[in-house]
Structure 1
């Protein structure tokens, strides 16, 4: 009897995995972090999932993040100077001088304009020397920048960074495995016929990346005829309309502060609405109080939003999670406010949305 083996690698999302791999008897994944996903998505009831591992990347688990962070801080702030709050590492490639200069200008301008206090450590490629990269530093020292020892390189300090900038460097894979955000510099290439990003462009990581999706909009609400159905659809319609009206009011409220209300990202928990302010990421569950018991709706909302925030904290997503329960109106019982506060939840309601 033949045995079919499937191998899963690359972009490990359910929709990107081939049908034969999901239905194989034996499935091989690259690392322990893929094991829960593979186990959840397999379709063969007798399937077994095996971890292959990769020695080069498995060794990353033993890297000393604190020691590498101290190295980066000493480079940028020798002596008793104050180090920047956030540090990006640029994993250089041996490009020609004019291309490196353009990338340096891009990164330094971006870090200067980004939220927070950023510094940049330029990590030479093994084929480069520090003298080659020193001219890329700005004389005004804004933002703070320094060149790492070529013997250290990007792999010797990326674990201590808040972000890694690269252009086709395999260090990007290692940074991603360590949970360090990766800024991929998009290079102009003759084989690229349709460009969605301008040449030499990178986007700095922002609070909410991987959590917040596209802009949230109010949906149209239909009407049902109850007829002989046991479920009272009139109450369902009323509750759904109140839910969408509350979202519409919240959109307008935040828009007056120049904040865009957004849905959830593709692989994030399915919260109702979210937004960011500085390093804070607000994850909201919206509950109507029409057509249902008020205490039941509030209890449900508290459980949902705590679950969403906990999932995101476990995933070590960027930004401070702020769970929010949004109600269509002020609850009858005032005890819900103190309960939410004790649970670390912001409880707010239309039309004023206090605290938002």
Structure 2
């Protein structure tokens, strides 16, 4: 029994309403195309099973259309169409228009890859009822269906020329592409599907590496800030105790620390923005590849494939990692020593501090640049 809310006339394989329903020996019903496809995969084993109850059959049972179920499904569709009023949805800018509507066109619901037309809910009905039209391949409504037709012969692009890496029609194989290595678009789709999976895996690896690097950068930035604040606090304590003599010297040290902290923050912020932008681009590319993996139109898939194969997002780019300098540690040690040397050694120690600061001007942040190679 069907669960609440589930269509009782649905195929357990495609989860859609039965098309050409057949009943197999165990009593379960499927679309003829769906169960045939399942059993085609079991030809090598020579034992065929029911997708629902797993009951084995040998030899392969013959399939005949269940006319009673087919009539019930047809009546159900008619009742749905006549009893549920359709909401009029006119095509807006950017929508795919119905090719059959006259006057103000409705928004198309699906496109037929055999007829190369897009249809609204009303004009789609013949493709659901007429046996000959029910064999046509229907996909989500899309524009540019004429791109599936050969511009020279006005025939469907059903062949893929491996020599020229392009989709062609059957007539093209006898003139412009005569003697070339060819295959069906479906076969080439299966071949390219594996490459898409590899490319998507590449995207996902880059996303993970970018996220990891970004996280490391932020941790280093926080550590850098903590060390900076700690050093500043330590310097305040030292110079408070020696306030009368070291008033001028304290200002010098404060300026040194603030300058180094400001420079580090500017450099680190640029790296954060670069990595965030790269992460966004990679995620967008991965989402488009995920959508491409489920594309039903072979020609459209192959035409879009090279866009992602040579995606700019896969180009190598430098990634920089922030390394905390030992400058603050050296400064703190020097300040502790400065307190003990008192006035007699103050000028000498401040010369040392100033010299170290100059040496660290361009090395406060050590940037390791490397390229990701795959």
In the superposition, the TM-score normalised over structure 1's length comes to 0.22
Structure with a larger share of its residues in helix? 2
If you compute each CA radius of gyration, which structure gives the higher value, 1 or 2? 2
Structure with a larger share of its residues in strand? 1
In the superposition, the TM-score normalised over structure 2's length comes to 0.21
